[in-house]
Amino acid sequence: MTAPRSHHWLSCGFRPFFFLGALAMALGVLAWLPMLAGAWEPPTAFAPRDWHVHTMLFGALMAIVAGFALTAVSHWTGRPPVAGRTLLLLVVLWGAGRAAVTASALTGPLAAALVDLAFPIALAAVFAREVIAAGNLRNLPIVGMIALLGAADAAFHAEAAATGVALHATRAGVALLLMLVIVIGGRIIPVFTRNWLNARRAGPPPFGILDGLAVAAAALALAAWTADPDLGVTAPLLAVAGVLHAVRLARWRGLATLGEPLLAVLHFGYATVPLGFLLLAAALLAPAAFDPVAALHVWLVGTFGSMTLAVMTRASRGHSGRGLAADRVDVALYALAFAGAAARVAAPFADGGFATALNLAGGLWIAAFLGFALRYAPILLGPPAARA
């Protein structure tokens, strides 16, 4: 039986969470730019910088992670999609967390933290239930990473309350989200590429020793960076991870996918992973030559921006019965995201034009994610496409 039209948006996790995550990505920056200029300040107990970081990492990006994870787990386990009341509860918990953090000066930091943490705890529990019920223990590490994101969120609240700035928890959140990109990207990009190329020529090699070394090097480098960027071993570990991931990406044959932007954008997006490792290593070794904050934004804007758009457009099309081919609007959204990332990374080098470059980067980011939300709202919230 076909679900009522009003319930299609609760039929699978990607539908509400991709739409809400894209909106949060756009509106989070739209609110941040006037905050940065001192034009307004929300009633939050967080410092403005921490509100911005938390909104983007543990709010917007966590919604997109939830949308992907809840959709993928049904394919990994063969179980029905998480839908209906369970999905609605997760959506409500996510929204309550966003409101609680923004109004935490009114409710108190502890109450806000408890409300905010309900979402990652519930998400990890639902994901674990699906994996364990299917006996699909191979994906338990993904459960663990989602649980660790919840722990990083809790640490963010605690560190912000104790010191006023959540530096360690911010690095932990970035590191965990980047590891999700590395693990999930390393799973889906070669498979999608192999499927597309096999009809034309041989695809990329399967997961091998080099992939394992690259993942391990990234985990070690990010652990050192989270603990202390100034440790003597941190920069060399970051550089090694960057080289290994560049070699890993080269083996995936991305240049052969240029004819299909929906696939090529995944390769271009993943290219920012090794670039971020290498530039952050360079910035730690020679901060006078390259700004560490600019290097970090290769991941924050480049990796997280491009990879989320790439995954959301592909999954939204595929799981709603649309064709797996990007159109001109999709390509324009990708271009906006990459241009915004370039502007943000270049902003510290703009001499007296820093504010202009920052506003340009923010505007491009807002256009990319608001454009996705508007373009894909009928696809995400409406019924699947009719099949011939």
What are the strands, taking DSSP E only, across the chain?
none
Task: Please determine, for residue 2, whether its predicted confidence score (pLDDT) is greater than 50.
Answer: no
Q: What was the pLDDT predicted at 206?
A: 75
Least confident segment among 30-34, 142-146, 195-199: 195-199
- Do the Cβ atoms of 41 and 35 come closer than 8 Å? yes
Of residues 113, 112, 74, 87, the one with CA closest to residue 18: 87
Task: Please determine, for residue 5, whether its predicted confidence score (pLDDT) is greater than 50.
Answer: no
Task: Please determine, for residue 137, whether its predicted confidence score (pLDDT) is greater than 50.
Answer: yes
Task: Please determine, for residue 4, whether its predicted confidence score (pLDDT) is greater than 60.
Answer: no
Model confidence pLDDT, tens digit, residues 339-356: 999 999 988 887 778 889
Q: What was the pLDDT predicted at 200?
A: 63
Contacts of 220 (CB under 8 A, 6+ apart): 237, 241
Q: What was the pLDDT predicted at 386?
A: 52
The pLDDT confidence band at residue 383, using thresholds 50, 70 and 90, is confident
Model confidence pLDDT, tens digit, residues 303-323: 999 999 999 999 999 877 777
Q: What is the DSSP letter of 3?
A: P
As given in the structure block, the two tokens for residue 249 are 């990406």
Task: Please determine, for residue 324, whether its predicted confidence score (pLDDT) is greater than 60.
Answer: yes
Angstrom distance (rounded) from CA 25 to CA 368? 9
Of residues 333, 338, 320, 335, the one with CA closest to residue 375: 333
Query: Which of the two residues, 103 and 139, has the higher pLDDT score?
Result: 103
- Do the Cβ atoms of 325 and 203 come closer than 8 Å? no
Q: What was the pLDDT predicted at 3?
A: 42
Q: What was the pLDDT predicted at 388?
A: 38
Q: What was the pLDDT predicted at 30?
A: 96
DSSP character string of 165-226: S-HHHHHHHHHHHHHHHHHHHHHHHHHHHHHHHHTTS--PPPS-HHHHHHHHHHHHHHHHHH
Q: What is the DSSP letter of 100?
A: H
Angstrom distance (rounded) from CA 153 to CA 101? 11
Determine the distance from the C-alpha atom of residue 245 to the mean position of all C-alpha atoms in its chain, rounded to a whole number.
Answer: 18
Query: Which of the two residues, 222 and 79, has the higher pLDDT score?
Result: 222
Model confidence pLDDT, tens digit, residues 152-205: 999 999 999 999 899 999 999 999 999 999 999 988 899 888 887 776 666 677
Q: What was the pLDDT predicted at 199?
A: 64
Q: What was the pLDDT predicted at 385?
A: 59
Q: What was the pLDDT predicted at 319?
A: 79
Of residues 272, 54, 282, the one with CA closest to residue 172: 54
